[in-house]
Structure 1
Amino acid sequence: MAEQQPTNWSSELLDCFEDTNTCCYGFWCAPFLACTVSGRLGEWYFLPLCDALTGCTSLFCSVPTCIPPAALSLRVAIRKKYGIKGSHLKDMAATCCCSWCAWCQMHRELKRRTQVPVVINLQSQTTVNMQPPVFVGGMQPFPVMMMPPQTS
């Protein structure tokens, strides 16, 4: 298996105004943004709320009182998954000193790295968004056979 070259984050920690939608989402609904990041990464959707329950992060103002373990683990997971340069020390500093900015940066990264592919049918001039499959309860559904359109 070929090892991928380390890359940088697609945006810096304080680049909130690069994606104002994420910035507003994180500012007004920080717990929901954190849960969205966890869900997009394929982890338990409510994992970030464990930081609030353990007292590491205030649920509303996102001010940490210690290093939030869920935020740190998700940040490290994103770095490892996409081969992003960094260290555990930098991840700890980001999640502890500016957890809101760290969540926004992780959200921006996942938005850029997990773009939904678009298929354009040139014959009928239609656009189809290819959505990833949703597995309910961890069970994979039966495969669906796609038949080519019938020509008359």
Structure 2
Amino acid sequence: MSSKMVIRQPQPVMVSRESDQWGSGICDCFDDVPECCFAFWCSCCFACKTSKKYGQCLCLPLLEIFGGIIPPVTMAMRVSMRQRYGIKDTMCMDCVYATFCKACSWCQMSREMKRRNIQVVLVNAKNI
């Protein structure tokens, strides 16, 4: 009897039947007032918490301390989230929001994750 070593696991496919637009606007702070207050008063902590909930490194947003004009982590997270959820927008708008509305941008991403809360379910997964 030979044993098999599995090198790559099958990846779940997420099909979203949601809208291809953001669930809330960039300035819809009244949709979730406590989170927006948290983001306003302690944006670094809020960005780290949101990054962790999204499945990224907790300290990733702290790299923006060394950044330049455009916050690269905020912009990358917006682009990644748009890709994951199939949201239609442009990188130009992501750049504008990341640069001039950073706290609001993180709030919008947090609200979108709550709204979409897609559970990953593996169908027909077999143990080897």
TM-score range with shorter-chain normalisation? Answer: 0.7 to 0.9
RMSD after superposition? 2.4
Match of 2:5 in 1: none
Q: Which has the higher contact order (CA 8 A, sep 6+)?
A: 2
1:100 equivalenced with 2:90 (yes/no): no
How far apart, in 2, do the equivalents of 1:44 and 1:25 lie? 20
Query: 1: distance between equivalents of 2:76 and 2:85?
Result: 14
- How big is the shift at 1:55? 4.0
> Unaligned regions of 5+ residues in structure 2, if any?
1-12, 120-128
Q: Are residue 72 (structure 1) and residue 85 (structure 2) matched?
A: no
Native 8 Å contact 1:33 1:107 kept in 2: no
The alignment status of 1:110 with 2:117, answered yes or no, reads no
Q: 1:96-116: CA deviations, max 9, x gaps?
A: 011111111111111222278
Residue from 16, 35, 56 that aligns with 1:22:
35
Aligned-pair CA distance for 1:37: 1.5
The structure that is strand-richer by fraction is 1
Residue of structure 2 equivalent to 1:51: 64
**For 1:91 and 1:110, how far apart are their aligned partners in 2?**
17
CA drift at 1:3: 7.5
Higher helix share: 2
> TM-score under structure 1 normalisation?
0.63
Letter in 1 for 2:41: W
Question: % of aligned pairs identical?
Answer: 39
Alignment of 1:118-137 (within 5 A): none
Structure ID, larger Rg: 1
TM-score, length of structure 2 as denominator length: 0.75
SS at match of 1:43: coil
Q: 50, 58, 74: which one pairs with 1:37?
A: 50
Could you tell me how far 1:36 is from its partner in structure 2? 1.3
CA gap of 1:97–1:45, structure 2 versus 1, over 3 A, is same
